């Protein structure tokens, strides 16, 4: 990619603070040229949207209201500007008539779809999303197992890419004394509640490992189960997320069973922050970070407990692995910049 590009970036940029991965990708797109934006964030919510969103989360094939007028904005922008790339980040509210307009009025633009979620699961799909798949020149997924499924759903070309981190944001932070008191812990987890995660954490607690949790409010209930489980607050939406990772001697990386994950954003963000990652063992994790040298893995609660006990008492080895994991991130092209550049190069070179 040698020339500056004119890009239309469409996605949910608002909410979730600096931890918003869609916002992070949008900022990287800006390094490749001039970027116009359409924010698809539904603000403010109304009763109709809340009702539709609840049905959407239950996996019913519905349409979500376009509260922000994204479809109208898209049509206005493609009539006024000539784009090289139109990047749509999880376009679940972009209607089919908008895609028809894009193909008619911006035929020269490469249309790239991206989602970090498992879009073949019904709880992630809308009618608009399913109708849109045939229009993309390239659809990008971080779920390797969904490549063939997305093609069956109508995608012409599916590009698998690993998860990534944001340089300058996901990095090792030197914590102040007050921050160390606030975020420091032996074993920590940041993320949403899921039963399997909860069961594993309770198992650790019952076997003498204290676990600190930041995340969704559902965690509050299990904190009453055992004195070794402490809930320190809801989602961390800015650099406090990274500082909490840095404060953990061991950062747990559980995968979402509902999404069939083999890796997740946390798989890269934890090592990028220079923290020691103890993650579920999968073939993709093993390919990303060498076991015992750049990260540690577990396949059962028993092994999870054994690894926590071992690495909490082997500090130098733990620190060496954390440092090697951080180096692997920077040397292996796991950053958002490297991932997105590869995607754009691939799309532009398509015949």
pLDDT tens-digit profile, the chain (351 residues): 667 999 999 999 987 678 899 999 999 999 999 999 999 986 655 555 555 555 555 555 566 778 789 999 999 999 999 999 999 999 999 999 999 999 999 999 999 999 999 888 888 888 899 999 999 999 999 999 999 999 999 999 999 999 999 999 999 999 999 999 999 999 999 999 999 999 999 999 999 999 999 988 888 888 777 899 999 887 788 899 999 999 999 999 999 888 889 999 999 999 999 999 999 999 999 999 999 999 999 999 999 999 999 999 999 999 999 999 999 999 999 999 999 999 999 999 987
The confidence score (pLDDT) of residue 50 equals 54
- From residue 226, alpha-carbon distances to 93, 137, 190, 205 in Å are 43, 51, 18, 7
In the numeric block, which tokens belong to residue 218? 């559902």
The helix (run of H) or strand (run of E) holding residue 247 is helix 239-247
Rounded-to-integer distance, Cα 92 and Cα 104, Å: 21
What DSSP designation does 259 have?
Answer: G
The helix (run of H) or strand (run of E) holding residue 49 is helix 47-57
The confidence score (pLDDT) of residue 52 equals 53
The confidence score (pLDDT) of residue 334 equals 98
DSSP characters for 326-337? HHHHHHTT-BHH
Q: Which stretches does DSSP call E strand in 211-262?
A: 211-215, 229-231, 248-253
Taking alpha carbons only, the member of 307, 314, 305, 299 closest to residue 207 is 305
What DSSP designation does 118 have?
Answer: -
Rounded-to-integer distance, Cα 135 and Cα 124, Å: 19
């Amino acid at each position: 990619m040698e020339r500056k590009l004119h890009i239309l970036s469409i996605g949910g940029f608002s909410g979730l603070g600096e931890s918003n991965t869609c916002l992070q990708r949008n900022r990287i797109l800006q390094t490749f040229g001039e970027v116009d934006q359409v924010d698809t964030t539904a603000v403010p919510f109304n009763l109709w949207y809340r009702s539709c969103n609840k049905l959407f989360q239950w996996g019913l094939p519905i349409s979500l209201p376009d509260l922000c007028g994204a479809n109208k904005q898209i049509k206005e922008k493609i009539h006024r500007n000539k784009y090289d790339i139109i990047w749509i980040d999880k376009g679940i509210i972009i209607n089919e008539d908008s895609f028809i307009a894009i193909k008619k009025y911006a035929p020269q633009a490469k249309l790239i779809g991206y989602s970090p979620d498992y879009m073949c699961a019904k709880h992630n799909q809308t009618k608009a999303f399913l109708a849109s798949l045939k229009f993309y020149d390239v659809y990008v997924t971080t779920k390797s197992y969904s490549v063939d499924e997305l093609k069956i759903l109508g995608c012409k070309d599916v590009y698998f890419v690993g998860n990534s981190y944001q340089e300058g944001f996901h990095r090792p932070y030197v914590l102040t004394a007050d921050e160390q008191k606030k975020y420091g812990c032996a074993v920590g987890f940041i993320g949403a509640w899921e039963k399997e995660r909860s069961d594993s954490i309770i198992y650790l607690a019952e076997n003498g490992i204290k676990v600190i949790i930041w995340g969704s409010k559902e965690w509050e209930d299990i904190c009453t189960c055992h004195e070794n489980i402490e809930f320190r607050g809801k989602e961390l939406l800015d650099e406090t997320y990274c500082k909490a990772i840095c404060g953990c001697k061991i950062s747990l990386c559980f995968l979402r069973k509902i999404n069939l994950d083999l890796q997740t954003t946390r798989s890269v963000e934890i090592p990028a922050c220079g923290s020691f990652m103890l993650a579920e063992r999968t073939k993709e994790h093993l390919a990303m970070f060498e076991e015992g040298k750049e990260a540690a893995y577990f396949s059962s609660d028993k092994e999870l407990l054994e690894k926590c006990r071992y690495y909490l008492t082997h500090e130098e080895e733990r620190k060496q692995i954390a440092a090697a994991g951080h180096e692997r991130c920077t040397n292996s092209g796991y950053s958002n910049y490297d991932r997105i550049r590869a995607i754009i190069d691939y799309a532009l070179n398509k015949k």
